[in-house]
Structures are given as C-alpha cells and as structure tokens.
Amino acid sequence: MATSSLYDIPLKKIDGSDATLAEYRGKVVLIVNVASKCGLTPQYEGLEAAYEAQREQGLVVLGFPSNDFAAQEPGDNDSIAAFCRGTFGVQFPMFGKLNVNSAPRHPLYAALIEAAPQAQAGSDSVLKGKLAQHGLLPKNDSDVMWNFEKFLIGRDGSVVGRFAPDITVDSPVLAEAIKSALAR
C-alpha cells in the first residue's frame, strides 16, 4: 500500500466526527490500540507523558480502542473517553472503537500490518508466553498480539517501526526510534 494512502483511510474520532490521518501529515505518529481493562492499561500514563513532552517536536500519539483482546474494552466511545481523561488525564487524540484483528479488520490496521508484518519484541518479554499459556495468541504471526501494540509512522507517512505491547513508550528501543523519527 502506498504510504500516502494511510492518510486517506476514513476514521472516526472518539466523539463520532469524521477524520483521517491527513491532519497529522508531517508529524511523527505513534498509533496504539488501547483498552481500559487490561493489565497494560497503565501505559496510558507514559503515552500521555511522551505526547506532552515531545509534541512540540512533532510527536502525536493516537489511541485506537479495540475490544478484540479478551473483551478488555467493553465500553462505548463516551465511556472510553471519560475513563481515559478521568483516570490518566489523556489529552492525545483518541479515535472510535474499531476492529484490529477481528473481521472485518479496519482498513487502517490492514494497512499498518501489511507495512510492518512483525512487531519488535522486548528483550525480556514474558507477555507472549503468558498469552500462549492461556491460548490467547493470535492465529497469524502478523496479527496484532495484544492491547497496546504500537506502530510508529515517520514524517513522510511510512511505517518505520512496530513494537510489541509490552514495549513501553519509554523503553530504550521505542524511545530511540521516536527520537530518530523526530530528527528526520
């Protein structure tokens, strides 16, 4: 898929208004599938901190709620927005709930996965093993593993990295990738 087409995929903001990624053209974008009732939900705090600290340099964090992973995002868009703002002070843009792995997979995630079929795993990752123990690994290796998987989009609109859910935004590998993308 051509990189410019990422900008053209129709989306819905969490308030229901129409959107595309075009408004973020020229910025470094960190796309994260999020959930309110996941063990990784505290990552909202670090994502918001990174957004606040680096948005002047051109970083934008975008949250995409999904209920695809053990039904850990059961709420509607209004309750998700209230939870994120009230619990973690989230100010970064949030979008409407969508399908990351389940049918029909949202075209944004189809394009992201096509561009980056494998996520970089953390060196001390135990998440994959835990998911395997509970029979929760996705059917296909290219599918998003779990909530809080991250796709990094460069200023030119190309996918420059994909990071496993347990790689936090302040992990050296992701922090360095963001720094490098912001420098371009």
Catalytic residue positions, numbered: 38
Please, what is the end-to-end C-alpha distance for the chain in angstroms?
22
10 Å Cβ neighbour count for 21?
A: 21
d(CA 4, CA 27): 13
Question: Distances in Å between the alpha carbon of 147 and those of 6, 18, 25, 63, 183?
Answer: 21, 24, 25, 11, 28
Q: Which of 156, 162, 158 is nearest to 174 (CA)?
A: 162
SS3 182: helix
Tokens of 144: 């998003």
Are the C-beta atoms of residues 148 and 33 closer than 8 Å to each other?
Answer: yes
Are the C-beta atoms of residues 94 and 80 closer than 8 Å to each other?
Answer: yes
